[in-house]
Each structure stands twice: as structure tokens, then as C-alpha cells.
A and B are shown apart, each in its own frame.
Chain A
Amino acid sequence: MPKAKTEMRIIFLSILIVFAVFLLFPLGTLFVRSFETNQGLGISNYLSILSHKDLIEAFGNSIKVSSITAVITTILAFALAYAVNCTRIYRPIKTVIKTGILIPMLLPTITYGFAIMYSFGNQGLLTKIFGQSLFDIYGLNGLLIGYVIYTLPAAFLLINNSFKYIDKKFIIVSKLMGDGSLRSFMNTIVRPLWATLGGAFVLSFILSFTDFGIPASVGGTYAVVATQLYQVMLGSIPDFNQGAVIAILMLLPAVFGVLLLNYLEKLNFHYDKFSAIELMQHKGRDISFGIISSAIIVAMLSVFAIMFIAPFLASYPYDITFTFKHVMDIFQSSDLVNVYKNSVIVAALTAVLGTLVAYGSAILNARTPLRGKSTIDSISMITNTVPGMVLGLSYLLLFNGSSLKGTFIIIILCNIVHFFTTPYLMAKNSLSKMNPSWETTGELLGDSWLKTIYRVILPNSASTVIEMISYYFINSMVTVSGIIFLVTAQTSLVATEIKQLQHFAKFNEIFVLSLLIFFTNLLIKILCDYFQKRQSINHS
């Protein structure tokens, strides 16, 4: 490891200042504001919220619907991961599962709600196919479907990753020792995965609890915390102090959840080094899981099918002649084109600047001897905990009077901080695996520290950098909750514009804009995957 240098200290200080101003101060302000009353500081805001029947009910609803979501998602995600890792189903099916499951991540959650309406509503596509309305979608049912679709990809990725660290030889050992199917399954799959399954549950719970897009679209009269917070802040009589209290109360379960996640992480099984082994033949297992996993994917994707159909029909469901009219209308509306441009600019700047911040932070922590560098880990814990709505609201409180208000800069900064954890951990992980002597070698060969970073470290982590850029870009394209309090008429983005269009029931526009986000993200994802693959070929 190189010695501490001035340039390292300067970068470290700049990063600390960014997070002080755009994470700690806003959260501090939020905290203070929640205690602020006409008679000075006190807990009367909290007391008034707790006596507010609607809000208490919304909390109960949020906890209930998030818990049910978490149970369903964990079971489904486990079934998918099991099918991918522990069966001998036809390989292309596994590829379809692994790719298909990621599709919802390319769309804003608010779109899910409209897709659900157009699928399960009275005139919905799936309702027509089944010939009858399956259930009432506004409220609990719609929320559940939306939340499950939203949380399934994240939960699947988590469980799928843990499956890779399970030594499948134990399944064979267990069989050879005479275990029955159930005992073998419990001991070799469920037990080693127990902590991960708990993690998937907690993760799904937090994501559902803090999401705004789904209840905003399909929630109906079923009040949840996120919609309550929105109403208090942007309703007819905004109450900032009450909003601060609700935000703090939304933050608490998230804090608890992240602590729980970290605790569960420690319980994770880690087998020693092991090698891959062929799975046992088992027709029944393969056929049943082949059917189950395909059904999950098909069901999930069928909800989105309408989004690709409706905008190309004259007036779904009444006039189903094919037309490009709606698409053309969007491109002729300078407002909507501008909104799309805004979104791309914000996402691109977030991707570039965010990657710079996250990569710089990771280098300082993984490859320098700076004192106090582990503060960055604490920062990444906090950014992982704070829900987007809470962060956005705290920005609104702190920067309301400043010139940052209503700018793209504040939106970009909010995104950078909100999504910091994952790209930071990607970079840290990849940088700490690299040869620790490179900086010393570079220095002995005449490089300055920054020059070695540029000539050696960066080219060797290019693949990770691309992944970070892609993560930041896609997430800032789809986020609603993080920025809903920060956008103005001048800085409107596609995901938030959809919320506005809802009021005018312009569903074709909503779907066309959603498709724009989808294909933009798909393009970025494909490009990034292509460059990543090229990198890894170059290096092998």
C-alpha cells in the first residue's frame, strides 16, 4: 500500500464535504424539524401524528402489505433461484429466468401500477383473456402484485448469489447417508440459506415499505405511509413539520431492517473452497421446478405485456386498430420530448459524477492507508438505510431557500447519494482484490499516485466502472420516490411526469413514456454488458 499523500487527503476531504452537506446536514435538519413546534422544540408533532387515526391506519396498512409481500417474494425468489442452481432443467430456460427477472428493474415502479390496471382492471388484457375480473385491484391486491414484482428481482439476486456459495456435494453426501428428501432438502439447502432467506424477507419488506410509485398508481383508497407523506407535504395544506415526523417514522423501520440485514449477513454460511459437481438426476424435481419457475416469469412478464400493446392501438380496449399515432404525438409534443431529454441528461450526469464519487471513495478505502478512511463505510451504511423519499424530503427542508432549489444539480446530487452504496461496494470489492503492490511498482517506475491510478488501476477495473455507470444510470432513470419532492415544472423528469399524466388519465402517454425509459435503459444495459464482455475477453 502506498504512503498517505496530499492528493489522497484532498480527495478524501472533498468526499467527506459532499456527504456532510448532502447527507448529514439534511438528515440533521429533518430530525430537528420533526421536533419543531410553535412553542419551540418538543414532541408535540409526534403526539399529534400518533393521535391521527388515518396515519396510524396507514402505518398498519404499510406493515401488513409489506409483510405479506415479503413472504410471497421470498418464496417465489427462492423457487426461482432453486430452479436455476439446483435442477437440471434445460439451460436456455435458466438463461430466460435469469434475464427475464431483471426486466422490472428497467422500469419505474409507478409504471407497474398502470400495467396492473390495464391487465387486471375491468377492461384489462388479462381480465379479457380469463373472461372475468379476477379480483379487485385497487388497494391491497394491486399493491401486493406491484410490490412482489418490484421486490422479486432484488430478492432473487440475493438468494441466487448465496446459492453459488453452497457446496452441492453435501446434497450427495446427505443422500448417501440415507436422508429422505425433506431432511436432505432442509439440511443441505434451507439451513445454509436460512440467513439469506431472512435477508430477502427484510429487503423485500423495506423496499415495499418505502416505495412510492406503486401506491401512487394502484393504491386507491388504501392508505400507506408513502402516500400519506406525499399528501402531507404536497397536498392542499403542506405541513413540513408533520412531514418530517412521518419521514422519521418511515426511516425507523428501514434502520431496523438494515441492522437486521447486517446481523443476518454474519450468520451466513461460508463453505471452504469447493469445486463444482454434477447434480443428481431427478426428473420429478426438474419438471416441477421447470413449470413453477416458468409460470412465475410468465406471470410477471404478462403484467407488462399490455404496456407494449396498448400504446400502439387506437383506443384500447374499445378500438383495437393498430396505429403509431400515440407514439408520434409524444414525439411531436415538445413538452414530453423535453422531459425525456431532462431524464437522460440527469441520468447521464448522475452516472458519470456518481461513479466518480463512488470510485474515488472506494480507492481511498481499499487502496490507501489514510486515517479515518473507514468513515466511508459508515457513510455507505447510512445511504443504504435512508429511503429515497426521506432523503428527498430532507433536501427539500434544508435547501428550500437556497439557489439549489429547483435545479437539476440538486436532483443529481440526491441520486448520487441515494444510490451510492451499491456502486461503492462494487468498486471496493474489485479494487481490494487487485495486486496491492501496483501503486508501489508504479511509483518506483516514476509515476505519481494519480498517474498509476489512471494508467494501471483504472484500466484494470474498467469492467467494474462500466457496471457502476450502468447501475447509476438505470436507477436514476426509474426513481420516483427519491426525487418526487425535488422536481419542479422546469426540471420535470419522465418518471415524475407519469405521476402528473395520471391526473389527466393520459394512459397512452404514460405507456409510451414508460417504453421510452425501458428502451433507453435496455440500450444502456446492452451497451454496458457488451463493453464489459469485451473488457473481460481482453484480459483473459
Chain B
Amino acid sequence: MLKLQNVSKQFDRKVVLDDINVEIKAGEIVSLLGPSGSGKTTLLNIILGLTQLDHGKIIFNDMDMSHVSMKNRGFNIVFQDYALFPHLSAYENIVYGLRNKKGLVSEKELQEYIEFLELKPHLTKKIGELSGGQKQRVALARTLVMKPKILLLDEPLSALDGVIKESIKQRIQSIAREYKLTMIIVTHDPEEALTLSDKILIINQGNISQFGTPQEIINQPKNDFVEEFILKQLQIKRQNIYNLFGEQHA
């Protein structure tokens, strides 16, 4: 279980995060949802250990992680642009970290990860030869073999187009189930957040607007922001889709 207690952060006197308190259970998929500049990426970087927090605590399984370095925290991230190493093949990228931690993953386990992410046919390819979805899966594999305690994803779907988006969504959900992995996902897209995650943390101007399941957010929006900016968008989308297919498909 991950607990954020009174987490606050300022950049040059500008408050980016103001007294954030959240509890995330093991194996949950949680989305951090908010407009750009809301502080969601800062929160992700604080959890990762890349950004120092000003006040508050990060507690993971009853251990205070607030001052543990990024490297020793044992969390891991897949960046929005994947940050794959272009001079290495897909396979070399996947096993990159295993050179530093020998024996972390057996050969059999490694093959299981590769098969699970359906990367077998692409292992010898250079990064430049992979499609967006394939890159995403290589980045996921490279991170998963490090056996992270929490997996952070920064806008995992934003660089992908239509059909691939839906299949990567399913993939993310199946990873969480298969490896019982806690995942924290940053996104600015309400549809993505509500269809992908168990819980959504809506952030606005450094504060928590609402934290709850998709149903709670749809049925009991806590304030104007959630209603105006989150629900309204979904309703417009719903309307557009209805118009396309006709009401009877609702």
C-alpha cells in the first residue's frame, strides 16, 4: 500500500501541489487525471523519487520512502516518449537493466515476459523499426523485468493512434492482474482514465478535486470542476457517438 501524506511542492514560490493525501492499495490501477499544469506530472515524479517534496511523506508498505533515493525506492516508470535506447535492439533494451542486477530474472521468466507482451517477432529489430505500439511494449518489458514495486506510466496512450490505444489499455489492465502490480498512470484524457483504472485521482491546481472509482465520479461528482471539465467532455463524446450510431444502440 502506498500512502501520500500532506504532500506539498512549490517551484519558485508557485504552489504546484498543496497538501495531497491519498492511499493506493496494492494491485490497484490509479489514474492521475487533470488539465496540463495541474500538478499531476509533478506528483508522479515525486512518487518516483525524481523530484524532492517540500513537505509531507511517502509511505510504502509502512516504510517511509520520502528520503529514499530514486534508485533505491524500487519503483519504475515508462516515459511518455518511452526513452528507448536507439543504438540497441529491442531485446538489448529489454535486458539492459539485467546486466546491473544479475539473477533478478531467470531466463525462463524473461521469455515469459517477452511472450506475454508478444514481442518475440520483434526482438532483433532496431528501435527505429518498431511501430508506436511495439515501442510501448518494449518499454513495458524493459521496466517489468526489473520487477518494480510500483509501475508508473506517464501518458502511456498519448503517442498511439486509435485501435492500438484500445489494445494497449487491455494490455495494461492484464499486466496489473497478471503480476498483481500497483500502477499509477498520468493522463489528461477523462475517457482514458475512467475506462482504464480502478480509481481516479482528479487534480486541479495542485489540489485533489475528487478521488474515487469511475462509478463514483460519474454518479457523484464532488464539485463544479469535475462536472464541468470531466463529465461534460464525456457527455459530448457520448452524444457524438449516439448521433453516429443512433439512440437505439445506447
Interface of A toward B, CB cutoff 8 Å? 3, 435, 437-438, 440-447, 451, 455-456, 459-460, 462, 538-540
Decide: B87 and A441 in contact? CB cutoff 8 A: no
Decide: A437 and B100 in contact? CB cutoff 8 A: no
Please give, as numbers and ranges, the residues of chain B lying within 8 Å of A442 by CB-CB distance.
96
- Cα A298 to Cα B85 with chains together (Å): 46
Q: A440-B50, A539-B128 are in contact. Are A445 and B100 (CB under 8 A)?
A: yes
In the complex, whether B37 has a CB less than 8 A from a CB of chain A is: no
Chain B: which residue is nearest A540 at the CB level?
A: B128
Q: A435-B83, A437-B83, A459-B87 are in contact. Are A444 and B146 (CB under 8 A)?
A: yes
Interface window among B70-78, B110-118, B202-210: B70-78
Please give, as numbers and ranges, the residues of chain B lying within 8 Å of A438 by CB-CB distance.
83, 85
Decide: B97 and A445 in contact? CB cutoff 8 A: yes
Please give, as numbers and ranges, the residues of chain B lying within 8 Å of A540 by CB-CB distance.
128
Chain A: which residue is nearest B126 at the CB level?
A: A539
Shortest CB distance B117–A (Å): 17
Decide: B70 and A460 in contact? CB cutoff 8 A: no
Chain B: which residue is nearest A447 at the CB level?
A: B100
Selected A-B contacts with CB under 8 Å, 25 pairs: A435-B81, A437-B79, A437-B81, A437-B83, A438-B83, A438-B85, A440-B50, A440-B70, A440-B79, A440-B83, A441-B79, A442-B96, A443-B71, A444-B70, A444-B71, A445-B96, A445-B142, A445-B146, A446-B99, A456-B85, A459-B87, A460-B87, A539-B126, A539-B128, A540-B128
Shortest CB distance A430–B (Å): 13
What 5 A-B pairs are tightest by C-beta distance, nearest first?
A446-B100, A445-B97, A437-B83, A459-B87, A441-B83
Shortest CB distance A437–B (Å): 4
Chain B: which residue is nearest A436 at the CB level?
A: B83
- Cα A447 to Cα B146 with chains together (Å): 12
Shortest CB distance A448–B (Å): 9
Decide: B86 and A460 in contact? CB cutoff 8 A: yes
Interface residues as binary, B24-57 with A (CB distance below 8 Å gives 1, 0 otherwise): 0000000000000000000000000010000000
Q: Besides A443-B71, A444-B76, 18 other CB < 8 A contacts? A: A435-B81, A437-B83, A438-B85, A440-B83, A442-B96, A443-B70, A444-B77, A444-B97, A446-B97, A446-B146, A447-B100, A455-B96, A456-B85, A456-B87, A459-B85, A460-B87, A538-B87, A540-B128
Please give, as numbers and ranges, the residues of chain A lying within 8 Å of B70 by CB-CB distance.
440, 443-444
Interface residues as binary, B132-173 with A (CB distance below 8 Å gives 1, 0 otherwise): 000000000011001000000000000000000000000000
Interface residues as binary, B79-115 with A (CB distance below 8 Å gives 1, 0 otherwise): 1010101110000000011011100000000000000
Please give, as numbers and ranges, the residues of chain B lying within 8 Å of A441 by CB-CB distance.
79, 83
Shortest CB distance B28–A (Å): 21
- Cα A451 to Cα B100 with chains together (Å): 10
Q: A440-B50, A539-B86, A539-B128 are in contact. Are A446 and B81 (CB under 8 A)?
A: no
Decide: A460 and B85 in contact? CB cutoff 8 A: yes
- Cα A451 to Cα B97 with chains together (Å): 11
- Cα A459 to Cα B83 with chains together (Å): 15
- Chain B contact-residue range equals 20 to 34
Shortest CB distance B110–A (Å): 14
- Cα A460 to Cα B93 with chains together (Å): 14
Shortest CB distance B231–A (Å): 33
Shortest CB distance A510–B (Å): 45
Please give, as numbers and ranges, the residues of chain A lying within 8 Å of B99 by CB-CB distance.
446
Please give, as numbers and ranges, the residues of chain A lying within 8 Å of B101 by CB-CB distance.
446
Please give, as numbers and ranges, the residues of chain A lying within 8 Å of B87 by CB-CB distance.
456, 459-460, 462, 538-539
Please give, as numbers and ranges, the residues of chain A lying within 8 Å of B96 by CB-CB distance.
442, 445, 455
Please give, as numbers and ranges, the residues of chain A lying within 8 Å of B86 by CB-CB distance.
460, 539
Chain A: which residue is nearest B97 at the CB level?
A: A445
- Cα A441 to Cα B82 with chains together (Å): 9
Decide: A446 and B71 in contact? CB cutoff 8 A: yes
Please give, as numbers and ranges, the residues of chain A lying within 8 Å of B71 by CB-CB distance.
443-444, 446
Chain B: which residue is nearest A459 at the CB level?
A: B87
Please give, as numbers and ranges, the residues of chain A lying within 8 Å of B76 by CB-CB distance.
444
Please give, as numbers and ranges, the residues of chain B lying within 8 Å of A539 by CB-CB distance.
86-87, 126, 128
Chain A: which residue is nearest B73 at the CB level?
A: A444
Please give, as numbers and ranges, the residues of chain B lying within 8 Å of A435 by CB-CB distance.
81, 83
Q: Which of A3, A444, A455, A462 has the most CB of B within 10 A?
A: A444
Please give, as numbers and ranges, the residues of chain B lying within 8 Å of A462 by CB-CB distance.
87
Please give, as numbers and ranges, the residues of chain B lying within 8 Å of A444 by CB-CB distance.
70-71, 76-77, 97, 143, 146
Shortest CB distance B127–A (Å): 9
- Cα A451 to Cα B126 with chains together (Å): 22
- Cα A442 to Cα B142 with chains together (Å): 11
Chain A: which residue is nearest B76 at the CB level?
A: A444
- Cα A462 to Cα B70 with chains together (Å): 29
Q: Which of B77, B81, B87, B97 has the most CB of A within 10 A?
A: B87
- Cα A526 to Cα B146 with chains together (Å): 43
Shortest CB distance B184–A (Å): 15
Q: Which of B70, B86, B101, B126 has the most CB of A within 10 A?
A: B86
Please give, as numbers and ranges, the residues of chain B lying within 8 Å of A447 by CB-CB distance.
97, 100
Q: Which of A437, A460, A539 has the most CB of B within 10 A?
A: A437
Please give, as numbers and ranges, the residues of chain B lying within 8 Å of A440 by CB-CB distance.
50, 70, 77, 79, 83
- Cα A435 to Cα B50 with chains together (Å): 16
Chain B: which residue is nearest A434 at the CB level?
A: B86
- Cα A460 to Cα B50 with chains together (Å): 24
Please give, as numbers and ranges, the residues of chain B lying within 8 Å of A455 by CB-CB distance.
96
- Cα A435 to Cα B80 with chains together (Å): 11
Shortest CB distance A443–B (Å): 5
- Cα A267 to Cα B240 with chains together (Å): 49
Q: Which of A438, A445, A459, A540 has the most CB of B within 10 A?
A: A445
Shortest CB distance B140–A (Å): 13
Please give, as numbers and ranges, the residues of chain A lying within 8 Å of B81 by CB-CB distance.
435, 437
- Cα A460 to Cα B84 with chains together (Å): 11
- Cα A460 to Cα B70 with chains together (Å): 25
Shortest CB distance B172–A (Å): 19
Shortest CB distance B105–A (Å): 12
Please give, as numbers and ranges, the residues of chain A lying within 8 Å of B100 by CB-CB distance.
445-447, 451
Please give, as numbers and ranges, the residues of chain A lying within 8 Å of B146 by CB-CB distance.
444-446
- Cα A438 to Cα B87 with chains together (Å): 12
Shortest CB distance A4–B (Å): 12
- Cα A3 to Cα B69 with chains together (Å): 10
Please give, as numbers and ranges, the residues of chain B lying within 8 Å of A3 by CB-CB distance.
50
Please give, as numbers and ranges, the residues of chain B lying within 8 Å of A456 by CB-CB distance.
85, 87
